[in-house]
A and B are shown apart, each in its own frame.
Chain A
C-alpha cells in the first residue's frame, strides 16, 4: 500500500468502521491500562484474543515485511491504526516488548533465521516477550549487569536474576542482557545480548506485587539455566550496543514499532469528565479558582508537548539542539501524565482517599490506580532522573554525573 492522501483517507474510513464493529466491550473485570499491568490469566486471555483479532484483520505490523507476517505498507498506516485504537478507546495491544522493541530490533540487526523464527508469532501474540535488563541491585545502571552467561560448547549456562520483568511469568522469550566476560577493561565490553527461551529448566519468574496492590512484574531467577548459543544476537561482547538500540525503540527516539498502543491513554478530557462529579465549597468544582488554574497549567503542558513533537519534524526549528525534543520525549510525556493522574485523585475530595476494593471508590479507584501505576513509566526504561542526565549530557553537552 502506498501512502497517497486518497489511499490513507480510504484506509482511515475502513479502520474506523472496523473499530466501531470490533473493539470489544469492557469485560466484567478491570483491564490493564498498560502492558506493565497484566496480572491475571483472565486479563491475558482477553488481550491475547484481541491482538490476534486485530492482526487477523490485517491491522497490526502495518509496515513490517509481508514475508514475516506484516502488511508491507507505508509506516503512515500504522500511525492511523494506532490513532484509531486510541480514539476508539480500544484495549491495549499487550505484546509490547515483542512488537515495539524486539521486532524492530530483529528487523534492523537480526538474521534472516531470527526474523522467520520470531516475528510472526510476535504479531499474532502466540509468543510473548519479556525483557531482562534491570537487576535487583542496579536498576538504572545497565552497564553494571552481573547476570552471568558462560559458554559451554554450543550452549550458555546462565546464573543470576533480573527484576521488573514485565509479562515474565507468561513470556516465551526474553531479550536478555548478560555478562559473558568479566575480564574486559570497560564493563560494557563484557556484555552480550540473547534471545533467550523462558520455558527451560532453571528459569523461574516470581510475580511481584506492586504499589497498586496488583501484579504484572516479576523477578526472574536463572539457576544453571542452559540456553542454546544460537540465541546470541550480534557478537559475543557486543551486547551493550544492542541494549542501547533497544532503549532507543523503548524511549520512542527512533521509529519502527508495530503498535504504539501499549497504554490506554488518559487525557485531559477524561479528567474533565470527572469534574462534573464533584463539588468544592458547595459549588461545582469547576468553579473553583485554584482547581481551574491547575487544569489550565495541565492544558498548557499537554499542548506544548504535542506541538513540540510536531516541531521535531521541522529541521529549521531544531538547529540549536537537533535531537533535543526526541530525546526528551519520555521525560516530558511521562511526568506530565503523572501530574494529570495525581490531579484526578486530588479533585475527589475525601473520596480520593478510597482505593480499588472499596465499593464507594470513584470509578472503582480508576484515578488512584492510574496515578500509582504511572510510576511504572517514570521509573521503568530509565528513570526520569536518568532521562534528565541523558538530556543534560547528550543534548546540552554538560559533563557526566
Chain B
C-alpha cells in the first residue's frame, strides 16, 4: 500500500453519520438512553446487542421512522428529520430484515421506486432501464431488469434493494440482519458486494447475531445493552469472548436454589424436523423439572413450541406426552393429552379480547364444564372465581372484558386458564414479556410453585436472568437446532450467549 493510499484511507475515515446523545422512550420503556453512535466513510460498523438492547430502535431512528426524544442525528452535517423521505434525501438507505419490494413491479421499477424518470410527465422506460442496469451492474449483474421482483429469491431481492441504495447515491447503508434468510454461498456473494461498496467509500451499518459474520466483515463494533452504549471498538482489539462479555455483562442475580424431586419423563421430543425451521430436535422434560429454552429471536424456539402443541405441522419426528405419541397439527389433541401453552403474544394468540375474564379463563375447559353440550354457569363461575383469587388477577369483576386489563393481569388470565386445566406439561413462551416488574416476580414464583407441584415446565425466554434463576437445565437453540444442553452448574450468561450465537 503506497503512502498516498494510506493517507486517502485515513482521510476517508471521517464520520459520515453522527448520532449524538440519542434518548428514546416508549410507554413504560426507556429504549435508548443517551447513546452516541457514528459511522465512518468506507467502514463497516457492526451494531450488536441482545434482543431488546435498543438496536432496532436506533436503526429505525436512522431510517427516519422515529424521532428521538433528545439528541440529534446528522449526515455530513445535515440534520436528519424524523421522516423516511428525509433519510433518503440525506443519503441513508435501510435494508430491513424482510425485503421491501413491490412484488408485481419489475426489478428496474423497484430500483427506481418513487423516482421513476419522466419526460414531459410521461414515464421514460428507456431511461429507467438504463439507470437501473447501471446500479444493478455493480451488485447483481446476473439479474434481468424486467423480471418481476416477486419472482426473485430473497437473496436476489436483497441485492435489488442494495442496487436501489446505490442508484440513490446513498452514503450510509444500514443492513438489519441481512443474512438470516441466506444460504452460505449467498452470504459470500453479499459480503463481496459489501466489500466492494466499502472500497468505493460507502459506510455500512451491519446488524447481525452471528459473531463469525461480524468478525469477517466488520471494521468496528458498537455494543448496546439495555438501551445504553457499552462501547465502540475496532475489531482488531476484540475477540469472541470480549464481545459476548460486552453484550451480556450484567450482574446476574443469585439463583434460587430449590431442590425439587424430579419424576418421570413427561415430554419426549424425538428427532423433530421441519424443513428450514427445525432440525432434528430431541430432548426430554421430566415431571417437576423446569427446562429453559434460550436462544436469539428467530432461532426456532417459538416454532418448536408451536410444533409440540400442534399449531404447526412438522415433517418428521415425534412428540410424546407420558409415553403416548400426540398427533401433529391438532392443538385439541395436545390439550387433551395434557399440554398447556402460554404463547408469546397473548393478545393475538391467547385471549379473546371481546370476552369476559371469566370466559377467557374457561376457554380451554369448555368440555369439562358442560354436560351434553350445555355449559354449567355455576361451575364456570366457581372455577373463574377460584383462579382469579389464586392468581390475584386485578379486575373489577369476572365479567369485565379481558382487553381492558393491564398486560400483567392479562397474562395471569392466560395462566389461570391452564392452571384450571392442570396440564402435565406447561410451555411458557416469553411469559414475562412486556409486563411490569411486580407481576413479573409473581409469575416467576408461580412457575416455581407449579414445578414443585409436579408439573413439567418448558420455559422459553430471551431474558437470561429469568432462565438462569428459574431453570434446572438450559437448552440453547440456534438456527433451528439445539446447540447445547447445559446443566444448571454450567449455564452462565456467557456460555448461553456463546452457544446462541456460534454453537
Bind each other? no
